[in-house]
Amino acid sequence: MSKRIFLSLVCGLAIAIVTNAGIAAEATLKVGTEGEAPPFSMADANGNVTGFDADVATAICAKLKVKCEFVVQAFDTLVPSIDTKRFDVIISGLGITEERKKKIGYSIPYASSPQYFVVPKDSPLAPMTTLDEVKKGLAGKSVGVVNGTTYARFIAKNVPSADLKTYDSLNELKSDVVAKRIDAAFDDASSIADFVKSPEGSDFARVNVKVIATDDPSTLGHGMGVGLRKTDTELKGKIDVALCEIIKSGEMKAMSEKWFQDDYSLACK
């Protein structure tokens, strides 16, 4: 082999190594998300995604040193699409449920949407600060929830002495709250916050007792997790480490307070 040919081969190999290293450095994590669920996920006409989910995804990508690429589609199509490899992970306020765990893998839980009680401002329940106090205070009182929700199951199990009232919609529940036909309502943080800020909710207060998934996973689930293919065990391990770092640094708390004015973060175990 001539010296010239040998040098050409060496140079070519060097270029290939540099090129491959460049590709690795520009690795992309494709993130499936809904895009129409503010403030979790909002996509504009140009495909730019913002919201809590986007911030979580971006923070994970930063830890993994990869580029985030968002794939926006309807929420109910995300889980069925994961095996098509249209995207690598799902970050879309995805609750960890036993049914979904049959189909996909999950990261550690990283956040949970809190639930609160809302009562008239002059209710003896209004100043309570612990869940035990509220449970005792609700004995014999009526509590409204939307039918079929995890919230209904939570009240039925944890406050059996209460008179549980179920409603087909949140609007129907709000109507009975405003009319004071029930003593309290129990729903997610954003719904309660919107209600007490509205003109019709001006005479009502949110009880300062936060209920989260870890208070009773059997009824409220296990919080939100990153969804991924069950076979992607190495990626799951990396994402779990990244999430723990994001949680422990306080970044997850800051992101949730930015979008929800509340701490949705869960402890890293």
| Nearest-10 Cα torsion for 51, 102, 29, 12 | 180
Has residue 265 been placed in a domain? no
User: Which pLDDT score is estimated for 224?
Assistant: 95
User: Which pLDDT score is estimated for 146?
Assistant: 92
3-state DSSP percent of the chain in helix, strand and coil, to 5: 45, 20, 35
Measured distance CA(120)–CA(53) in Å, rounded: 33
Has residue 267 been placed in a domain? no
Please check whether residues 63 and 120 belong to one and the same domain: no
* Nearest alpha-carbon partner for 27 in 56, 57, 60, 68: 68
* Nearest alpha-carbon partner for 204 in 238, 223, 179, 229: 179
Has residue 269 been placed in a domain? no
| Nearest-10 Cα torsion for 46, 81, 224, 30 | -50
Has residue 266 been placed in a domain? no
User: Which pLDDT score is estimated for 97?
Assistant: 87
CB neighbours of 190 closer than 8 A, spacing ≥ 6?
Answer: 39, 113, 260
Please check whether residues 165 and 78 belong to one and the same domain: no
Please check whether residues 122 and 249 belong to one and the same domain: no
CA 112 to chain centre: 6
User: Which pLDDT score is estimated for 26?
Assistant: 60
pTM of the model: 0.77
Residue 100, sorted as left (phi over 0), alpha (psi -120 to 50) or beta, turns out to be alpha
Has residue 245 been placed in a domain? yes
Measured distance CA(139)–CA(157) in Å, rounded: 13
User: Which pLDDT score is estimated for 50?
Assistant: 97
User: Which pLDDT score is estimated for 24?
Assistant: 43
User: Which pLDDT score is estimated for 13?
Assistant: 43
Please check whether residues 150 and 195 belong to one and the same domain: yes
Paired with 163 in beta bridges are: 142
Please check whether residues 177 and 205 belong to one and the same domain: yes
- For residue 237 the two structure tokens come to 């391990």
Please check whether residues 161 and 71 belong to one and the same domain: no
CATH of the domain at 131: 3.40.190.10
Residue 82 is given by DSSP the state G
CA 199 to chain centre: 29
* Nearest alpha-carbon partner for 210 in 113, 120, 124: 113
Kindly give the residue spans of alpha helices, DSSP state H, lying in 113-222: 131-137, 150-158, 170-178, 189-197, 217-220
Q: Which residues of the chain have pLDDT under 70?
A: 1-26
Please check whether residues 38 and 101 belong to one and the same domain: yes
Has residue 17 been placed in a domain? yes
Domains: count for the chain: 2
User: Which pLDDT score is estimated for 254?
Assistant: 98
User: Which pLDDT score is estimated for 12?
Assistant: 47
CA-based max dimension of the chain: 95
User: Which pLDDT score is estimated for 252?
Assistant: 98
Please check whether residues 210 and 253 belong to one and the same domain: no
Express each pLDDT in 224-246 by its tens digit: 999 999 999 999 999 999 999 99
User: Which pLDDT score is estimated for 149?
Assistant: 84
At 74, which helix (H) or strand (E)? none
Residues in the chain, how many? 269
Parent domain of 174: 115-220
Residue 95 is given by DSSP the state B
Measured distance CA(161)–CA(134) in Å, rounded: 12
Strand order in the sheet with 227-228: 67-72, 28-33, 89-90, 227-228, 105-106
